[in-house]
């Protein structure tokens, strides 16, 4: 069974070798100008466009793959950068969880971007260029069949032109045979030679028709497909770059949001660092900062937090000013001394109005006691008619303060406030003062417009 198979293979090989030899011979004859060549200028232009289209598409595919490699490299670099930031970001810093989420979102965004470009743009180009190898092979086959057609055409033409010559050659041997062969044999020889000539002619004609049919079928198909493919390149390029631009726009928009989030986290982290630095510096100068909530008199709302640097509105400090507490302590001591019996009282000055929280009395003759300067000022001012009873000192608002309760005083930057002593010192909250605006007092002399306000929104004048 193997022998017939080998024989068939050998036969096909012999036919292919013969075809190649015939084509090579025909090409040589055409180049030497001894045989004409079938020319199709329109088809040659179509093939030129096809080759240009294939070259451009291949270059675009190559550059698109290089772009995707660059995207992958950028993704890897971004991932390493995010990992480095996550490793160095300390747990107690602001936005640790947000930073971890941002790193995950960034990695996912890069993955989606690369995958979308691969699935849409690169796959489109791969599918588009997959047509070219088959068409290129068919163009080459069409060129070979055109050579076969030319060879068959030339062979048939040569037989057609030499038909008469062949008949004459057949007649001469017949004349010679008349002398050597019987008359009945001469007719057989002549008939055999004519049959051989006709057989070759018929075979050549049949081969010509078959070669022409194969060539024309390929030629017609390619003349329809190649121009359509050439026109289709516009749609392919539009889809490729439109998809690329769309994915780029979406990627950069989402990446811009993540970048803004990262910038916000870094900004807040820097603000916290500055606040911490300011707090440390204040602690070194003896400013005891506290952040616990406190309540002032008849108010359920919490006291403002520790102030921040201007221009933000700083909330009140949690400790009283160093000047205010000793004054109230001295006044309280004076009041207690007034209530205690004195063995030899000295004449006392006129009593202050009932609203004042402290009065100055003469010390016991047996007690070595001298009133403080602040107490003397309070007594003098409180007993006069120009300042309200219980006046201690003046302050000036250095920040606006919006009252949050009915007993609080509304402040605008630049307001001058006359600080008053509390009727009951136990009602005073740390960091809060009682007073009346100087403008109100000068205008109406009304002590009822007094209210509490945060001390660190003001400064002494």
What pLDDT, on a 0 to 100 scale, did the predictor assign at position 357? 36
- For the segment 242-255, what is each residue's pLDDT rounded down to a tens digit? 999 999 999 999 99
pLDDT tens for each residue of the chain, 461 residues long: 444 455 557 766 767 777 777 777 777 776 777 666 777 888 889 999 999 999 999 999 999 999 999 999 999 999 999 899 888 888 888 888 888 899 999 999 999 999 999 988 888 899 999 999 999 999 998 888 888 888 887 877 777 776 656 555 555 554 554 555 555 545 545 555 555 566 677 787 788 888 888 888 988 999 899 999 999 999 999 999 999 999 999 999 999 999 999 999 999 988 888 887 776 666 566 555 444 444 444 443 444 444 444 344 445 544 344 444 444 444 344 444 444 444 444 444 444 443 333 333 333 433 343 334 443 344 344 434 578 888 999 999 999 999 888 889 999 999 999 999 998 888 888 899 999 999 989 988 888 889 999 999 999 99
Q: What is the fold, at CATH topology level, of the domain defined by 324-339+354-460?
A: SH3 type barrels. (2.30.30)
Determine if the pTM surpasses 0.85: no
| Domain residue extents for the chain | 11-277, 324-339+354-460
Return the pLDDT at 56.
Answer: 93
**Sheet (strand 391-397) strand order:** 451-454, 432-437, 416-420, 391-397, 458-460
Structure tokens at 55: 């070259």
| Domain 11-277 shares a fold with domain 324-339+354-460 | no
Strand partners, 388: none
**Are 380 and 357 within 8 A, CB to CB?**
no
The CATH number of 11-277, from 1.10.569.10, 1.10.40.50, 1.20.1270.60, 2.60.40.10, is 1.20.1270.60
What is the distance between the alpha carbons of residues 180 and 42, in angstroms, rounded to a whole number?
Answer: 62
């Amino acid at each position: 069974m193997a022998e017939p198979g080998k024989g068939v293979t050998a036969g096909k090989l012999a036919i292919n070798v013969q075809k190649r030899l015939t084509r090579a011979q025909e090409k040589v004859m055409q180049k030497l100008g001894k045989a004409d060549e079938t020319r199709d200028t329109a088809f040659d232009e179509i093939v030129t466009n096809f080759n240009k289209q294939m070259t451009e598409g291949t270059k675009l595919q190559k550059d698109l793959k290089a772009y995707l490699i660059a995207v992958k490299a950028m993704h890897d670099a971004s991932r390493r950068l995010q990992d480095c930031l996550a490793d160095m970001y300390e747990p107690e810093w602001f936005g640790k969880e947000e930073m971890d989420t941002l790193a995950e979102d960034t990695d996912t965004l890069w993955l989606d971007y690369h995958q979308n470009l691969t699935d849409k743009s690169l796959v489109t180009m791969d599918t588009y260029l997959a047509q070219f190898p088959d068409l290129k092979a068919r163009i080459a086959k069409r060129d070979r069949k055109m050579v076969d057609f030319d060879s068959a055409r030339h062979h048939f033409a040569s037989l057609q032109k030499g038909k008469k010559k062949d008949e004459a050659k057949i007649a001469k041997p017949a004349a010679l045979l008349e002398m050597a062969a019987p008359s009945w044999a001469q007719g057989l020889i002549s008939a055999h030679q004519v049959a051989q000539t006709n057989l070759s002619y018929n075979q050549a004609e049949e081969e010509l028709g078959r070669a022409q049919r194969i060539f024309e079928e390929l030629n017609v198909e390619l003349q329809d497909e190649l121009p359509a493919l050439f026109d289709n390149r516009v749609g392919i390029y539009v889809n490729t770059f439109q998809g690329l631009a769309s994915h780029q726009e979406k990627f950069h928009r989402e990446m811009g949001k993540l970048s803004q989030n990262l910038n916000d986290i870094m900004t807040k982290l820097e603000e916290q660092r500055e606040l911490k630095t300011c707090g440390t510096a204040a602690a070194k100068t003896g400013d005891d900062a506290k952040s616990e909530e406190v309540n002032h008199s008849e108010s359920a709302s919490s006291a403002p937090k520790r102030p921040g640097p201007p221009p933000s509105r700083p909330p009140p400090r949690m400790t009283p000013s160093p000047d205010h507490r000793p004054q109230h302590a001295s006044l309280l001591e004076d009041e207690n001394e007034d209530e205690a019996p004195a063995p030899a009282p000295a004449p006392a000055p006129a009593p202050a109005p009932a609203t004042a929280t402290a009065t100055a009395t003469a010390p016991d003759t047996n007690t070595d006691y001298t009133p403080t300067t602040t107490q003397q000022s309070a007594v003098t001012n409180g007993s006069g008619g120009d300042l309200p009873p219980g006046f201690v000192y003046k302050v000036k608002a250095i920040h606006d303060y919006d009252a949050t309760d009915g007993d609080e005083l509304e402040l605008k930057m630049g307001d001058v406030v006359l600080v008053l002593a509390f009727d009951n010192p136990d009602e005073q909250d740390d960091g809060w003062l009682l007073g009346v605006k100087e403008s109100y007092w000068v205008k109406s002399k009304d002590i009822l417009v007094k209210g509490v306000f945060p001390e660190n929104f003001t400064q002494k004048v």
